[in-house]
Amino acid sequence: MRLTPDLTPEYSDPHSYPAGVAWQDGQYIPVSQAKISVLDYGFLHSDATYDTVHVWDGAFFRLDAHIERFLAGVERLRMTLPVSVPEIREILHNCVSLSGYRRAYVEMVCTRGTARDFSRDPRAATNRFLAFAVPYGSVADDAQMKRGLHVTITNTTRIPPSSVDPRVKNYHWLDLIGGLFDAYDRGGETALLLDSDGNIAEGPGFNAFSVRDGALITPEHGVLRGITRRTVMEIGHEQGRTVREGTLTRDALRSSDEVFITSTAGGVMPVTRIDGAPVNDGAVGPVTRAIMSTYWAWHKDKRFVEDVVYPSQETKAPS
């Protein structure tokens, strides 16, 4: 005796979203309108790769490096982009330009897409590209940037390279989210996960660095090859420091002179407490400060930036 309800021909979304601009299927739209089908394997199988780049004071930072990594991920997943590289550049520029944001967090995504008959064969799907620009965000808030983050090392292990290639930037975050809840439970503000050998891997959206005697050490295996991580390694070299990718044990991390994390979302962020205990004297250290300083100075360096042209600055073509 059930009374079947009516079918609504058009979905009406009652939720609120941040402001921003997205591109999907040739259309620039408010980010609140940017949706993917629940049947897209980018959702149903998290079969997707992406990259994020930021815009700082009206300019992209290292856009070429982010696009290059994105293209490598798309190829490793054996996907085909429906847009060319010049089109990607144009789309990203336009999303930011239309948003008007001088500081933005910009994401480009390629999903496996859908197959018309809902085939389970990934080769049958038509891959999709989308992109969006939203306001710039950071892993650490202003207070945490000043006094340093309080990090908890969790026993959750990062998904190993034998399962998912960490060079393909991916949305498989349940290990990171589990680690985050574990960190919150234990009084931390964010989490560091271990690799399969019990050494430090990475955290939710960031790489980690240890500073000892002026040298920089960062985990080598099973981590995303972060563009900010690479930038910090280059800064280290420019500053004449020893920079080493290798194994970083929990104990080595805890007994560091300084610790910081790196992400496109926040740049270089100091860590001053690990598992409740201060790192060294618990203050943000001089090496971290020197690297932060150069990192932001490089955001004015023509080697690394390209300006966004906003509508107000445009020279209109004659009509």
Q: Is 109 in the site for a second copy (CB under 8 A)?
A: yes
Binding to a second copy (CB under 8 A): which residues in 169-228?
170-178, 180-181, 184, 196, 204-205
Q: Is 143 in the site for a second copy (CB under 8 A)?
A: no
Stretch of 54-62, 208-216, 223-231, 305-313 contacting a second copy, by CB under 8 A: 305-313
Q: Is 6 in the site for a second copy (CB under 8 A)?
A: yes
- Contact by Cβ (8 Å): 230, 65: yes
How far is Cα 119 from Cα 127, in angstroms, rounded to an integer? 14
Shorter beta-carbon distance to a second copy: residue 173 or 295: 173
Query: Shortest approach of a second copy to residue 317 CB, angstroms?
Result: 6
Q: Is 103 in the site for a second copy (CB under 8 A)?
A: no
Q: Binding pattern to a second copy, positions 233-272, x when CB under 8 A?
A: --------------------------------x-------
Give the residue, chosen from 142, 251, 281, 314, that forms a contact with a second copy under the rule CB under 8 A. 314
Q: Is 319 in the site for a second copy (CB under 8 A)?
A: no
How far is Cα 193 from Cα 223, in angstroms, rounded to an integer? 10
Give the residue, chosen from 108, 168, 192, 287, that forms a contact with a second copy under the rule CB under 8 A. 168
Query: Residue 30, Cα to own-chain centre: how many angstroms?
Result: 21
Please list the residues that pair with 268 across neighbouring strands: 262
Query: Shortest approach of a second copy to residue 120 CB, angstroms?
Result: 7
Q: Is 133 in the site for a second copy (CB under 8 A)?
A: no
Tell me the number of residues near a second copy by CB under 8 A: 99
- Contact by Cβ (8 Å): 261, 149: yes
Which residue bears the tokens 């090859």? 225
Neighbouring C-alpha atoms within 13 Å toward the C-beta of 136: 21
- Contact by Cβ (8 Å): 233, 218: yes
Stretch of 37-45, 213-221, 226-234, 239-247 contacting a second copy, by CB under 8 A: 37-45
Q: Extract the tokens encoding 133.
A: 């620009």
Shorter beta-carbon distance to a second copy: residue 4 or 240: 4
Residue (of 201, 188, 194) closest to 144 by Cα position: 188
Shorter beta-carbon distance to a second copy: residue 267 or 285: 267
Stretch of 15-23, 144-152, 211-219, 225-233 contacting a second copy, by CB under 8 A: 15-23
Q: Is 229 in the site for a second copy (CB under 8 A)?
A: no
How far is Cα 84 from Cα 70, in angstroms, rounded to an integer? 13
How far is Cα 149 from Cα 255, in angstroms, rounded to an integer? 16
Sequence-distant (≥ 6) Cβ neighbours of residue 136 within 8 angstroms: 54, 55, 56, 101, 103, 104, 105
Binding to a second copy (CB under 8 A): which residues in 73-92?
77-78
